[in-house]
Amino acid sequence: MLKVLTVVGARPQFIKAAAVSRTIKAHNDSLLERKSTLIDEKIIHTGQHYDTNMSNIFFDELDIPSPDLNLSISNLSHSSMTAKMLEKLSELFLHERPDIVLLYGDTNSTLAGAMAAAQNKIPIAHVEAGLRSNNHLMPEEINRVVTDRLSSLLFCPTTLATNNLTNEGYPFRINDTKKQKIILSGDVMYDVLTYYQESASKINLINDIPLEDKNLITCTIHRESNTNDNDLLEGILDELIDLSKTFKIIFLVHPRLKKSKLISNKKFQDSNIILSDPLGYLEMQRLLMSSKFVITDSGGLQKEAYLHKIPCLTLRDETEWQETVTSGWNILTNPRDNKLVDALNSFKLDLNNYENFYGDGNASQKIVDGLIEYT
């Protein structure tokens, strides 16, 4: 039996874990028909995302097994949160002694899981290895670089990600007999979209959002560099209000932004902007299906926009999903430049110039196979 401890804590990780956990269950269910290794997976939720719309709803609608343990660690600074997670996960790993720790992405939960596993000499499998924005001031970049270095199994979503690792000198030696293993798995988010696309397309109503509108823009802003500076945030919001003269904007308000005095119905009452709580996975995919553009500072949403063949405007100077930019479907813009409208008007897309960078929809199977073969 292969004992796997999966550590998740944030919205994108719940979605990714849905694909792999479903494949693990299918693998175990098929053992009567073929000889293979039974996988005992336990899911640990750090509590990093605690809001219902950012956490619980994903376990419900994506049929993810309920977490075996919720550490309830949230609403702290990056350093305090990571330190608390590291302490709790180290204790848990010592008690459970898993064969491997499975981590996703680049959050504080990812970093804490990697450090706790490494200190306890437990192999680490990192899903979404090799991504690089090359901005080492971003917490996410620090998290992914450190996690890659500590991991034994590196599951890369794209060819570019594998190239990033080899250019940095990977694979490195783990011990006297073993090196890290790099596997081009494809992207688990593509797996999830492929699996749930039909269900999402059947959703006809999402709150007060006019899905039939042909000029919808889906917008999210959550990155601290954009939300913690009131002058910068106000400039972004004013640009959105200006843009709403042409488009109807669905602004999905992150829990962090709800605390801002700048986010109020009064500010937007004369605009064509609808404020909404974050959506569950299926509703979010349905909204994207009806959107003409996406404006975001999220890493994952850039990629989801690309998977839906929707042009995306990213409020950052860099991205870890560089292929979305080089292909022309994603434009990076510094929010301090106040050029949202100009950037949106600069799209010159050839709709036939679309390449699937993210695999064949079987990334989760390659990950499960990789776990079994490695251990």
pLDDT tier, 54 (very low <50, low <70, confident <90, very high otherwise): low
CA gap 276, 309 in Å, rounded: 23
Same domain, 203 and 171: no
3-state class of 248 per DSSP? strand
Same domain, 55 and 99: yes
Q: Highest mean pLDDT: which of 8-22, 251-265, 358-372?
A: 358-372
Whether residue 352 is contained in a domain is answered as no
* 178: pLDDT strictly greater than 80: yes
Domain count, the chain: 2
Q: Where are the alpha helices (DSSP H) in 32-158?
A: 56-61, 78-96, 108-119, 139-150
* 35: pLDDT strictly greater than 70: no
Q: What is the pLDDT of residue 51?
A: 61
Same domain, 213 and 250: yes
Same domain, 223 and 120: no
Give the pLDDT confidence of 221-230 residue by residue, as tens digits.
Answer: 998 889 889 9
Instruction: Domain of residue 337: give its range.
Output: 197-345
Chain centroid, CA 91 distance in Å: 27
Across all residues in the chain, what is the average pLDDT? Answer: 92
Burial of 25 from C-beta contacts in 10 A (0-12 / 13-18 / 19+): middle
Same domain, 129 and 235: no
Say whether 222 is catalytic. Answer: yes
Burial of 3 from C-beta contacts in 10 A (0-12 / 13-18 / 19+): middle
* 301: pLDDT strictly greater than 60: yes
Whether residue 351 is contained in a domain is answered as no
Q: What is the pLDDT of residue 207?
A: 86
CA gap 56, 69 in Å, rounded: 13
Same domain, 95 and 177: yes
Whether residue 161 is contained in a domain is answered as yes
Same domain, 58 and 110: yes
Same domain, 293 and 158: no
Q: What is the pLDDT of residue 168?
A: 98
Q: What is the pLDDT of residue 32?
A: 65
Q: Report which secondary-structure segment, H or E, holds 126.
A: strand 124-127
Whether residue 273 is contained in a domain is answered as yes
CATH number of 224's domain: 3.40.50.2000
Whether residue 192 is contained in a domain is answered as no
Same domain, 138 and 166: yes
Please state whether beta strands 100-104 and 124-127 pair in parallel, antiparallel, or not at all (unpaired): parallel
Rounded average pLDDT over 170-183? 94
Single out the catalytic residue among 27, 222, 254, 308.
Answer: 222
3-state class of 172 per DSSP? coil
Give the pLDDT confidence of 86-137 residue by residue, as tens digits.
Answer: 999 999 999 999 999 999 999 999 999 999 999 999 999 999 999 999 999 9
Residue predicted with more confidence, 65 or 283: 283
Same domain, 338 and 368: no
Same domain, 363 and 256: no
Q: What is the pLDDT of residue 265?
A: 66
* 262: pLDDT strictly greater than 90: no
Whether residue 234 is contained in a domain is answered as yes
Rounded average pLDDT over 35-45? 91
**Lowest-pLDDT choice from 231-235, 240-244, 260-264:** 260-264
Q: What is the pLDDT of residue 59?
A: 77
Same domain, 182 and 255: no
The backbone torsions φ and ψ at residue 204, rounded to the nearest 5 degrees and listed phi first, read -105, -20
